[in-house]
Amino acid sequence: MAGTTSPSGTPVLSTPNQEDTVADQLKNGVRGLMLDTYDYNNDLWLCHSFSGKCYEITAFQRASKVFKEVEGFLNANPDEVVTLFVEEYTAAGALGKALSAAGLTKYVFPPASMPKDGADWPPLKDMIAQNHRLLVFTSKQGREGSDGAAFQWDYVVETQYGGDGLVVGACPKRAESKPMDSKGQSLVLLNFFTTNPSQSWACVNNSAPLISKLRACYDASAKRWPNYIAVDFYMRSSGGGAPLATDVANGRLQCGCDSIAYCKRLIWNMRTAIVNPVLASLVAAVTLPTFGFLLAEIFGIGFVTVFKTIHGPVFVALCSSSSVTVVVFVGSIVLVFFHGFERGPFSIHICSFVTFLGPVFIALSGFR
């Protein structure tokens, strides 16, 4: 992490991959952590080092500090699940001891209960109900007993990290991983970061290029979206960033829109429809007699639209991403046609209402 100093107070020479603390990352929505652990100074340390050894200039912090931050988050958020991917350069038992000291053992998903041979994982609600809210995977085989950690490559296929994994349109696997299309592992981890951490690269590529890699790896991974997306500088992006990529992988569950940015966008609210009916009529009058005035409110999967026409009626309908929606109002039926497109910083939405009585109502809304 940025600004980290070594135990003696000198700067760590390893380049940081993130800009904030683990506690802040969890608060901001990060749910997976990739940690390199080493035996150093008679303790377990997080290092970004070389040759399997940790040095003063590569030692970021004691693992216990990060584990306590994870414990604090899980304790304060009983409906959340976190995954640790631990690359171990430690003696057997060191990781388990550190997890226990931090109070994390009670949350660990027991390796013996994990689905084998590519079987499906239980739903999150079941994991939460059983308090199996911390998944711990290790790079070392045979640590289930000593550390309570599952051998990663029995459960996960992973793409190549660093520059070698950034080939456009390709999805090469990490050397230790089974092939990306292997069905013997039910979890998919996508790496998308440079060999040498770069904030400027992350700013440009943690957007459309990340989504493109996501789609390439979907095809290469036997039509499976990744369960984990690993990026450097997760807060940096010129577009939707890692949150958008996660939403795409989750089938756009976050708000049912093509972009999670829609969830944060709002034009006028319903009070405007009540307070300004005259303004609504005026807008309609200066365009065409059949035009209405649109007010929109984010409402689950779509937008509640209110049409106030110069003829008097107020039309209310749900304008969603579906091409045609049938809406009942005051004993009559209308067909709602929805269109949306992006232009610059705005998202433009057009809703056309065709009534059985003849008038066609068209409204245009722009979102910040």
> Residue 158 belongs to a domain with what CATH number?
3.20.20.190
Query: Is residue 209 included in any domain, yes or no?
Result: yes
Q: What is the DSSP letter of 108?
A: B
Q: What is the pLDDT of residue 254?
A: 60
Handedness of CA 324, 326, 329, 331 (dihedral sign): positive
Core vs surface per residue 260-287: b (16+ CB within 10 A) or e: bbbeebebeeeebbeebeeebbebbeee
Q: What is the pLDDT of residue 14?
A: 78
Query: Is residue 1 included in any domain, yes or no?
Result: no
Whether 239 and 306 share a structural domain? no
What is the C-alpha to C-alpha distance for residues 35 and 46, in angstroms, rounded to an integer?
Answer: 7
What is the C-alpha to C-alpha distance for residues 56 and 40, in angstroms, rounded to an integer?
Answer: 9
Query: Residue 286 pLDDT > 60, yes or no?
Result: no
Confidence of residue 252 (pLDDT cuts 50, 70, 90): confident
What is the C-alpha to C-alpha distance for residues 283 and 294, in angstroms, rounded to an integer?
Answer: 10
What is the C-alpha to C-alpha distance for residues 195 and 300, in angstroms, rounded to an integer?
Answer: 40
Query: Residue 104 pLDDT > 70, yes or no?
Result: yes
Q: What is the pLDDT of residue 39?
A: 94
Query: Residue 105 pLDDT > 60, yes or no?
Result: yes
Structure tokens at 22: 């683990």
Q: What is the pLDDT of residue 50?
A: 85
Whether 180 and 283 share a structural domain? no
Using left for φ > 0, alpha for ψ between -120 and 50, and beta otherwise, residue 217 falls in alpha
Q: Would you say 176 and 185 are in contact if contact means Cβ atoms under 8 Å apart?
A: no
Whether 102 and 156 share a structural domain? yes
Whether 191 and 293 share a structural domain? no
The helix, strand and coil proportions of the chain, stated in percent and rounded to the nearest 5, come to 25, 30, 45
Across residues 109-136, what is the average pLDDT?
97
Query: Is residue 12 included in any domain, yes or no?
Result: no
Whether 144 and 94 share a structural domain? yes
State the residue for tokens 């800009």. Answer: 19
Whether 234 and 319 share a structural domain? no
- pLDDT single digits (tens) 309-366: 444 455 454 444 433 344 444 434 444 444 444 333 344 444 454 444 445 444 443 3
Query: Is residue 168 included in any domain, yes or no?
Result: yes
Across residues 41-51, what is the average pLDDT?
90
Least confident of 229-238, 274-283, 307-316: 274-283
Query: Is residue 29 included in any domain, yes or no?
Result: yes
Whether 204 and 110 share a structural domain? yes
Q: Would you say 197 and 17 are in contact if contact means Cβ atoms under 8 Å apart?
A: yes
Structure tokens at 14: 């390893």
- In which domain, by residue range, is 284 found? 264-367
Q: Which of 255, 278, 294 is the last residue of a domain?
A: 255
Q: Would you say 351 and 362 are in contact if contact means Cβ atoms under 8 Å apart?
A: yes
Confidence of residue 242 (pLDDT cuts 50, 70, 90): very high
- pLDDT single digits (tens) 7-23: 657 788 778 899 999 99
Query: Residue 35 pLDDT > 90, yes or no?
Result: yes
Q: Pinpoint the alpha helices (H) of 136-276.
A: 144-147, 199-205, 208-220, 241-249, 270-275
Q: Which residue type occupies 289?
A: P
Q: Tell me which residue of 41, 39, 98 sits closest to 70, measured CA to CA.
A: 98
Whether 53 and 126 share a structural domain? yes
Three-class SS of residue 1?
coil
More confident residue, 121 or 298: 121
Query: Is residue 330 included in any domain, yes or no?
Result: yes
- Give the highest mean pLDDT range of 55-64, 174-183, 240-249: 174-183
CA diameter of the chain:
82
Give the N- to C-terminal CA distance of the chain in Å, as an integer. Answer: 33
Q: Would you say 134 and 109 are in contact if contact means Cβ atoms under 8 Å apart?
A: yes
Confidence of residue 257 (pLDDT cuts 50, 70, 90): low
Structure tokens at 211: 């989504």
| Count of Cβ atoms closer than 10 Å to residue 215 Cβ | 13
Distance set, CA 114 to CA 105, 108, 152 (Å): 16, 11, 12
Whether 50 and 127 share a structural domain? yes
Q: Tell me which residue of 139, 221, 144 sits closest to 185, measured CA to CA.
A: 221
Question: 300 Cβ partners below 8 Å, 6+ apart?
Answer: 256
Core vs surface per residue 174-211: b (16+ CB within 10 A) or e: beebbebeeeebbbbbbbbbeeebbeebbbebbbeebb
Confidence of residue 75 (pLDDT cuts 50, 70, 90): very high
Q: Which of 194, 223, 255 is the last residue of a domain?
A: 255
Query: Residue 283 pLDDT > 90, yes or no?
Result: no
More confident residue, 334 or 368: 334
Q: What is the pLDDT of residue 365?
A: 39
Query: Is residue 3 included in any domain, yes or no?
Result: no
**Environment class of residue 336 by beta-carbon count within 10 Å: exposed (0-12), middle (13-18) or buried (19+)?**
buried
Beta-sheet pairing, 156-158 with 187-192? parallel
Whether 250 and 340 share a structural domain? no
Q: Which of 209, 237, 255 is the last residue of a domain?
A: 255
Query: How many domains does the structure of the chain reveal?
Result: 2
Whether 139 and 283 share a structural domain? no
Beta-sheet pairing, 302-308 with 187-192? unpaired
Q: What is the pLDDT of residue 19?
A: 93
More confident residue, 151 or 12: 151
Q: What is the pLDDT of residue 325?
A: 40
Q: What is the pLDDT of residue 288?
A: 31
Whether 284 and 158 share a structural domain? no
- Give the highest mean pLDDT range of 55-64, 134-143, 330-339, 355-364: 134-143
Query: Is residue 7 included in any domain, yes or no?
Result: no
